Amino acid sequence: MGMGMGMSMGMSMGMSLPPHDPQLTTRLKQLRLSGILATLDVRLRQATDEQWPYVDFLQRLLEDEVERRNHKQLTLRLRRANFQPDKTLERFDFAFNPQLNKHLILELATCQFVARKQPVLIVGPSGVGKSHLAQALGFEACKRGYDVAYFPCAKLLASLAAGHADGSRERRLQAVIRPDLLILDDFGLKPLRPPAPEDFYDIINERYERGATLITSNRALNEFPQLFGDPLLASAGLDRLFDNAFVLTITGASFRARNRNPELLAAPTPPRGKGGAPSSN
């Protein structure tokens, strides 16, 4: 008698499914398959009602376990990446900026650039969605099983600078080099003061052709060299960063300005001082 037929007869006579054998629970835990217990009752009832063969019943249980593990690993990758939870492609308003290169964004969302260890540069003025897109692409990479690290660039460079002082710089640098995809947000927002130019160069150099790096910036690409303050470092670092890179340039209005008070929108922009800081005059 097949499993489905035997179980169906038992259920038709008013019998309920037997409780889990404690030994079964122990064995599943020893094999690190205890997640199967979460769907075992449901699958037993389905097998009984639909008269599944033994092999189908086992396959469904194993599919449940694989799905559970994949979800657990995705949750862990997203937690390590430290994205904002609403920064996904589904929640990005493509209609707000019709000039946006949606075709390139969807191509990047396949994460082939991660597999090929290619750089991606997203540049444009403040508020056009660079950070959102960077995190959304990182989220897509996490879904495909890649390890992703996301940092505001200034905070990462400050962390490496602290590592110089306490002797942990190499350990901190290795943690940045390891991920399949490194996202550095807002490069050039703050001036690069020593040792930041050297640290940034080391990140690019160590990851070159070993891992994909995605950088956002409100600086134009031709402004990148002057941020280093050292022509040799700039030339060597940017030569690697720009090699075989995807470049997404975003123009248009700011998302954040949409709901801003009209009086603020009409206010004059304060004069800028050296280094892009507001003038104190």
- Going by pLDDT thresholds of 50, 70 and 90, the confidence category of residue 142 is very high
Mean pLDDT of the chain: 86
Give the bridge partners for 121, in sequence order. Answer: 215, 247
> Domain boundary at 80, 97, 120, which?
80
* 70, 186: one domain: no
Domain extent, residue 36, equals 3-11+20-80
* 164, 34: one domain: no
pLDDT at 134: 97
* 115, 170: one domain: yes
pLDDT at 130: 96
> Domain boundary at 80, 97, 124, which?
80
> Of the ranges 79-83, 209-213, 224-228, which one carries the lowest mean pLDDT score?
79-83
Identify which has the larger pLDDT, 256 or 201. 201
Residue 259 CB-half CA count within 13 A: 1
Q: Which tokens in the block code for residue 262?
A: 């009209």
> Of the ranges 17-31, 115-129, 149-163, which one carries the lowest mean pLDDT score?
17-31
Average pLDDT, integer, range 150-155: 96
Average pLDDT, integer, range 46-69: 90
- Supply the CATH number for residue 124's domain: 3.40.50.300
* 124, 185: one domain: yes
Residue carrying the six token digits 């130019």: 197
Q: Model pTM? A: 0.74
- Going by pLDDT thresholds of 50, 70 and 90, the confidence category of residue 85 is confident
* 187, 67: one domain: no
* 56, 98: one domain: no
* 187, 94: one domain: yes
CA angle 2, 8, 14 (to 5 degrees): 145
Provide the CA 169 distance to its chain's centre, in angstroms. Answer: 24
pLDDT at 140: 96
Number of domains making up the chain: 2
* 66, 116: one domain: no
pLDDT at 264: 53
* 95, 233: one domain: yes
Residues near 171 by beta carbon (within 8 Å), at least 6 away in sequence = 163
Q: Is residue 260 part of a domain?
A: no
* 103, 186: one domain: yes
Average pLDDT, integer, range 29-34: 85
Q: Is residue 275 part of a domain?
A: no
* 102, 233: one domain: yes
Q: Is residue 25 part of a domain?
A: yes
pLDDT in tens, 179-210: 999 999 999 998 899 999 999 999 999 999 99
